[in-house]
Structure 1
Amino acid sequence: LNHESAQKYGNPVPVMNPQNSEMSDLRPSLLHGMLSTISRNIKVKEKNLRLFEIGHVFKKLNENKIKGFEDFTEEEHILFALTGNSIENEWGQQEKKYDFYDLKGFVNESLKNIYLDNLISYSYNNSRNVHLEYSYDIIYQKNVLAVGGKVIKSLLKEYDIEQEVYVFDFNISKLKEIKPGTKRFSELLKYPKIIRDFAFVVDNNIDSSVIIDTIKNTGSKLLKNIKLFDIFESGSLGEGKKSLAYQLEFYDENRTLTEEEVEKDFWKIIEEIKTKHKAQLRG
């Protein structure tokens, strides 16, 4: 890439003897190439696209002159992109555009195929990638493996793209370091589950995953699953506030739970969240 383009996507590594000014820096991201490809396709009337690219990206670790391999990183990434319509306007069905949930569903299915869906967690709208909105990160043991979301309009405008584009960037180098466990069959549950949900108003700087960690650490062994199902931001909640809503799933493989023991666990979790994060229970 040329230096001006490369700088938009990270701290680029300069080439010692570039052939020309358009090839002065190694690419710090796959996004520039993906948006250029989408732009070219749209200009020839190919507007409904599902694309991917695999390649290496390079980033300087500091502002000093590069003296050795320890001064920059080289990582392999795969970038997925969705744009245009997922369903065309035909008899019996209405046109539907790709959206954030199409992207998330595609990514989740990909994780299931490599047996990682039960090993990772999610963080919403906390990405440091300035080119994305409605973003979410995939996290494994506190390390970000991937980040995706909706590309901001100001960046799309630079590539003459007027339709929404959704991308997801996986760090393959980090994925290769994970050793997924072997999938085993679990006997079907014989006893009923008990579902509880709650919503808290918290400070905007509190990540949803932090609340999940508190729930896990406070709940008993009867708590099996936790799901964030809603994020709501509004001035009616107060300045610098947001609402996070969670669903909790309780059951035991060997017996039917009582309402009393679930309620005890449920309210213990609520009080811990209120105390630890200065949260306010909604409704």
Structure 2
Amino acid sequence: MPRPAGRPRPAPGDALVLYQLLLGAWPPGLEHDDAEAMRWFTERLAQWQQKALREAKLRSHWLWPDEAYETACREFLEGLLAWPELCAELAAAARELDLPGALNGLVQATLRLTVPGVPDLYQGTEFWDYSLVDPDNRRPVDHAARRAALEAGHAPHELLPGWRDGQVKQAVIQRLLALRQARRELFVHGDYAEIAVDGEHRERLVAFQRQHGDQRLMVVVPRLAAALLAGADTPRCPPNAGATPAWCCRKGERDLAKRADGYHAEVGAGHRHGDRPAEELPVGVYVRDS
């Protein structure tokens, strides 16, 4: 972008971070030709940018702000988002990250609530959360929407087709919190053992078992699964990817499938809806009493 002579430019590092943030923070429902929504998005990013520049302490500082440099960076940001062709490309690139991001979000929520330790949960982030640093993360939370989604009582797999609203993430969290409460001793005192996985997609799986007394927990989640999402319309590996959605493994990881004998699916594969199998989730949490 051309600039008048003598005017500062954003440093390459500051420009790179901005591009990365544009991709990561661009919400799934944001259309680049929605002028009002784009103005709101730009202002949110500008507030983040000022804080990032001052806290990096490279070109500006809270005590000694370089207002000329900060202004140049803001003008650079506003120029990017006022460029229709570039905005269209950014929006398209951000859309490529939606499914992998949602899949990783479900995986992270599952691991956070099943690995040893105390889960780190932030009230108000039960749905997908695209908040930036303060003051952006101080925006009001729509608790009514979250309460209504819980009261509807939908199972996680029922919410997967409408994954963009984030309700599937809250449903997974609710199920796992209920499981932790019901099996408190398992989660407080249970050991942790990695499950070795073999087969075609072994590098795309994380699997472990926890046990306390007669209670056992098995967790299986995908990783590095973006390549398997080609052609998918929900954050789950499609059957034609050579792996089942819930485990990304059943065609190759036969030993892992054998381990599931006697387990009951709390979250993930195994639930049924009427007389037909329910749509599977990309995460699996299984328990058994032996």
- Tell me the TM-score normalised to structure 2 length: 0.23
Q: Which has the higher helix share?
A: 2
Q: Which has the higher strand share?
A: 1
- Tell me the TM-score normalised to structure 1 length: 0.23
Say which structure, 1 or 2, has more relative contact order (CA 8 Å, 6+ apart). Answer: 2
